[in-house]
């Protein structure tokens, strides 16, 4: 019963994978829960797909055209919530898949948001600061009609940051004629952000890793971890795992990969990264290939880079007992089957990296209240929310006798279905 959407023609099957894989997960969960076909169709199909053409005047006076999207997958549980990414490989299938992931993610951690996602097909490294601002503001203007604190709330994602969110918020505020800090999250504290948002995704990943090790009876102290990605999630995560007593023995980024079985110290690697822009060449570790990263002896594997990084070849050589997905959609369905067969326990992205959207919910709530929480309160509520979500997914995995990914998607789909049935069908 796979839902076919009116996506642009001309893309081959390989480029459909991100969307079709999410659809198959949603439909499998619906079957597991014995949902009727009509409800399943409503859960699978995105509510709104907005594609916009974005003209930008470059610094040399020439006008360049870019394509952007904002997709709202489901708003039955609340306003749409999801990041905004700028990347040259972005397409409508990827954004649709990520918006559906957000619907599940928000439901899994039981916050009152639906799922949405936005993206612009652009390499931001080719833009000056001024060009990036003009691109952001024009894209925001083009999608402004569907944004708002009670409609759809963007946040940072790949190649976007608090500065980009500041431009989005200011653009909407100028259009509306009033300050609207609740229209985006991940902002600087000075204009309505919140303490604790930065690094919240990494905190959530570390909480899930610790909880899974506890369930499996694996000692955290001295356990070895390998991290793929040293960006907004991977870098803070290295420090968090080190603080828990783990040895991070391997790290990779776009520049290369490194390995030291005695452990890589966060502060030293951070200093090296600031000097060179990559983990490659770090003097206190040996160079390895990225293909070798997850084949080194480890107990925990953390993909924290781009989607699809864990494919069949990686799954066959992974040595870790536990994989916690810090990235969105890092594991292909083929790789997932191999990992399950080999007994590797996966904490899926819709649970593991949900710390970021939980933090966004807290920021949104504070913007609506006009009251800034203390750091301690933020951290306490983030930890309790993530632990409750992990416990619920793990319990569902045990009761349904399915892997954690299927359990998480089933829990999310169940909560979305409940909202749909309670609201009814209009008209």
**CATH number of the structural domain spanning residue 80:** 3.40.50.10860
- 175 plus 233 within the same structural domain: no
Examine residue 409 and state whether it is found in any structural domain, yes or no: no
Q: Answer yes or no: are the C-beta atoms of 315 and 339 closer than 8 Å.
A: yes
Consecutive 10-residue runs of the chain (427 residues): their mean pLDDT?
Answer: 48 62 94 97 97 98 98 98 96 95 98 98 97 98 98 95 98 97 97 92 98 97 97 95 97 96 97 97 96 97 92 97 95 94 97 97 97 95 98 97 97 98 95
What is the separation, in whole angstroms, between the first and last Cα of the chain?
24
Examine residue 139 and state whether it is found in any structural domain, yes or no: yes
Q: What whole-number distance in Å separates Cα of residue 115 and Cα of residue 106? A: 7
Q: Is 171 helix (H, G, I), strand (E, B) or coil?
A: helix
Residue of 66, 123, 69 whose CA lies nearest to 93: 69
- 227 plus 331 within the same structural domain: yes
Annotated catalytic residue 187: no
Tokens in use for 215? 């369930």
- 206 plus 167 within the same structural domain: no
Q: What whole-number distance in Å separates Cα of residue 358 and Cα of residue 2? A: 30
Q: What whole-number distance in Å separates Cα of residue 318 and Cα of residue 336? A: 12
Displacement of CA 116 from its chain's centroid (Å) = 12
Distances (CA, A) of 322 to 208, 211, 246: 11, 11, 13
How many helices and strands, by DSSP H and E, does the chain display? 14, 12
For the chain, the domain total comes to: 2
Q: Answer yes or no: are the C-beta atoms of 278 and 234 closer than 8 Å.
A: no
Beta strands in 282-356 (DSSP E): 286-288, 300-303, 322-324, 345-347
Examine residue 123 and state whether it is found in any structural domain, yes or no: yes
- 239 plus 328 within the same structural domain: yes
Q: Is 131 helix (H, G, I), strand (E, B) or coil?
A: helix
- 312 plus 224 within the same structural domain: yes
Domain boundary among 288, 319, 347: 347
Name residue, tokens 């993206």.
119
Examine residue 406 and state whether it is found in any structural domain, yes or no: no
- 247 plus 276 within the same structural domain: yes
Domain boundary among 332, 347, 362: 347
pTM score above 0.85: yes
- 236 plus 166 within the same structural domain: no
Q: Answer yes or no: are the C-beta atoms of 57 and 134 closer than 8 Å.
A: yes
Examine residue 360 and state whether it is found in any structural domain, yes or no: no
- 127 plus 262 within the same structural domain: no
CATH number, domain at 309?
3.40.50.720
Examine residue 251 and state whether it is found in any structural domain, yes or no: yes
Residue of 86, 103, 359 whose CA lies nearest to 236: 359
What is the structure's pLDDT at 8? 46
Q: What whole-number distance in Å separates Cα of residue 382 and Cα of residue 363? A: 12
Q: Which residue is catalytic, options 117, 187, 232, 321?
A: 117
Distances (CA, A) of 295 to 225, 269, 278: 11, 21, 21
- 157 plus 208 within the same structural domain: no
Tokens in use for 226? 């390998």
Is the preceding peptide bond at 427 cis, omega within 30 degrees of 0?
yes
- 270 plus 231 within the same structural domain: yes
Q: What pairs with residue 120 in β-bridges?
A: 68, 86
Residue of 352, 351, 307 whose CA lies nearest to 333: 307
- 135 plus 246 within the same structural domain: no
Examine residue 400 and state whether it is found in any structural domain, yes or no: no
Distances (CA, A) of 319 to 163, 301, 322, 331, 369: 39, 8, 9, 16, 47
- 154 plus 300 within the same structural domain: no
- Determine the structural domain holding residue 139 and report its residue range: 13-179
254-280 b/e (C-beta count within 10 Å ≥ 16 → b): eebbbbbeebbbbeebbebbeeeebbb
8-31 b/e (C-beta count within 10 Å ≥ 16 → b): eeeeeeeeebbbbbbbebbbbbbe
Examine residue 372 and state whether it is found in any structural domain, yes or no: no
Q: What whole-number distance in Å separates Cα of residue 412 and Cα of residue 393? A: 9
């Amino acid at each position: 019963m796979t839902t076919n959407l009116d996506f642009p023609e001309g893309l081959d099957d390989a480029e459909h994978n991100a969307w079709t894989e999410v659809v198959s997960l949603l439909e499998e969960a619906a079957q597991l829960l014995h949902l009727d076909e009509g409800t399943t169709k409503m859960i699978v199909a995105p509510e709104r797909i907005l594609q916009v053409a974005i003209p930008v005047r470059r610094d040399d006076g020439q006008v360049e055209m870019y394509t952007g999207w904002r997709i709202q997958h489901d708003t039955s549980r609340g306003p749409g919530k999801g990041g905004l990414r700028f990347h040259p490989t972005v397409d409508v299938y990827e954004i649709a898949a990520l918006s559906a992931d957000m619907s599940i993610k928000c439901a899994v951690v039981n916050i009152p948001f639906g799922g949405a996602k936005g993206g612009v097909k652009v390499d931001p490294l080719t833009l000056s600061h001024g060009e990036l601002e003009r691109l952001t503001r024009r894209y925001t203007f083009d999608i402004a009609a569907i944004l708002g604190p009670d409609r759809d709330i963007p946040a940072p994602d790949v190649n976007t940051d608090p500065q980009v969110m500041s431009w989005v918020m200011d653009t909407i505020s100028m259009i509306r004629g009033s300050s609207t800090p609740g229209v985006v999250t991940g902002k600087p504290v000075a204009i309505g952000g919140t303490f604790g948002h930065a690094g919240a995704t990494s905190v959530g990943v570390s909480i899930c890793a610790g909880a899974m090790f506890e369930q499996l009876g694996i000692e955290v102290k001295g356990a070895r971890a390998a991290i793929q990605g040293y960006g907004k999630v991977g870098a803070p995560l290295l420090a968090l795992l080190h603080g828990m007593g783990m040895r991070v023995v391997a790290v990779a980024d776009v520049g290369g990969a490194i390995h030291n079985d005695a452990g890589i110290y966060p502060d030293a690697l951070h200093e090296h990264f600031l000097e060179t822009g990559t983990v490659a060449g770090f003097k206190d570790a040996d160079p390895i290939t990225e293909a070798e990263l997850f084949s080194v002896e480890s107990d925990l594997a953390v993909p924290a880079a781009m989607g699809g990084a864990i494919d069949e070849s990686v799954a066959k050589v992974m040595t870790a007992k536990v994989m916690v997905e810090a990235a969105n959609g890092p594991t292909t369905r083929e790789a997932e089957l191999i990992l399950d067969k080999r007994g590797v326990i996966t904490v899926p992205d819709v649970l593991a990296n949900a710390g970021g959207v939980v933090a966004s919910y807290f920021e949104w709530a504070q913007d609506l209240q006009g009251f800034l929480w203390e750091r301690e309160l933020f951290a306490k509520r983030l930890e309790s929310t993530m632990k409750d979500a992990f416990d619920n997914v793990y319990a569902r995995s045990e009761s349904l006798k399915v892997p954690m990914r299927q359990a998480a998607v089933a829990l999310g789909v169940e909560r979305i279905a409940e909202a749909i049935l309670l609201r009814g069908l209009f008209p």
